[in-house]
Amino acid sequence: MQHNGVIIDDTFAEAFGMKATRVVITAINARWAYEAALAMTGFATSVIGCGVEAGIESELEPSATPDGRPGVSVLLFAMSGKELAKQLERRTGQCVLTSPTSAVFAGMEGEERLPLGKNLRYFGDGHQISKLIGGRRFWRVPVMDGEFLAEETTARCNAIGGGNFLVLARNQASALAACEDAVVAMRRVPGVILPFPGGVVRSGSKVGSKYKALMASTNDAYCPTLRGLVRSQLGADTGAVLEIVVNGITEQAVAEAMRVGIAAVCERGGEHGIERISAGNYGGKLGQYHFHLREVMA
């Protein structure tokens, strides 16, 4: 399959089942809502080293938030509900409670609940009070600029992490420019995040290593500097490979984000140095979700 002179490999991205939650952070203005969300989603690229994968889903107008202030929707993903609960509480306490004028609310409904303000209320040292509004409990915690308002719990759901595709290009600048276009397009898809810096990954990995202490190591088959030393998957003219990883609330959301991202890369075409689109997988042995590139694009 080719799109605008770009070859799309007959392969698939292998993704994993995860647990996810959404929270809505609001503040006095869009800047401070974004600052709290940015802090909350820091150091959250991969569960391998961070415990959680998190990112900003979208910015929200005041008409779309519970308290009528500017807001940001944040998604967090973990491998278990227990880890998700731990990471959510830590990050809310350290990054949202501390941020000026902030408040935090549940971003999804469901029977499986996670503590949000339920335990953070104790920071109020006995001065915290609660309000029950429409069956939802909110905690008002006194802080030095007024009150921190936090909904007691939020919901969690089953989700998908690790959808991906690889951009193979003649040089680094071409690969990066194409990925930047893809990120812009993919971030318009609701229900997904791109957890890596700027949405792009240069350090794609494979399972295992020659060093026993490491569970993952550099994806040598796609490293241009190792061509000729390993069983390379790169052509003679490929100078750089970048990866985009996408997590989503649903399988459909992940597939749609991959589709629009790949389409944006292909829009640049071969004349701008883009050669191939491929994907990372483990032979289908680890992840239960398989996103076949040609099916996604069809």
Whole-number Å distance between alpha carbons of 94 and 89: 8
Residues 144 and 164 in one domain: no
CA-CA distance, 72 to 32, in Å (whole number)? 10
Q: List the helix and strand counts (H, then E) for the chain.
A: 6, 17
- Residue 283: pLDDT band (50, 70, 90) is confident
Q: Within the chain, what is the greatest distance between any pair of CA atoms? A: 67
Q: How many domains does the chain have?
A: 2
Among residues 113, 129, 157, the one where a domain terminates is 157
Indicate whether 128 and 207 sit together in one domain. no
Number of C-beta neighbours around residue 288 at 10 A: 10
Task: Kindly report the average pLDDT of the chain as a whole number.
Answer: 96
**Percent share of the chain, pLDDT over 90:** 95
Are 28 and 138 in a shared domain? yes
Residues 146 and 174 reside in one and the same domain: no
Inform me whether the pLDDT recorded for 284 exceeds 90.
no
Domain final residue, candidates 100, 133, 157: 157
CATH value at residue 136: 3.30.70.520
Are residue 10 and residue 41 in the same domain, yes or no? no
148 in the same domain as 36: yes
User: String of b and e for 184-211 (b: at least 16 CB within 10 Å)?
Assistant: ebbbebebbbbbbeebbbeebbeeeeee
Q: What angle do CA 27, 62, 43 make, to 5 degrees?
A: 45
Instruction: Kindly state the average pLDDT of the residues 18-40.
Output: 98
Asked if the model's pLDDT at residue 286 lies above 90, the reply is no
Between the alpha carbon of residue 190 and those of residues 55, 146, 193, 252, the distances in Å are: 12, 33, 9, 11
**Same domain assignment for residues 170 and 140:** no
100 and 191 co-located in one domain? no
pLDDT, average across residues 218-244: 96
- Determine the pLDDT at residue 42: 97
pLDDT (average), residues 197-211: 94
66 and 38 in one domain?
A: yes
Is 0.85 surpassed by the pTM of this model? yes
Its domain, for residue 211, covers 2-15+159-297
Kindly state whether residues 146 and 222 are assigned to the same domain: no
If asked whether residues 223 and 247 sit together in one domain, one would say yes
Q: Which of 142, 157, 172 is the last residue of a domain?
A: 157
| In a shared domain, residues 262 and 148 | no
Q: Is the pLDDT of residue 55 over 90?
A: yes
- pLDDT of 110-142, one tens digit each? 999 999 999 999 999 999 999 999 999 999 999
Rounded Cα–Cα distance for residues 23 and 270 (Å) = 41
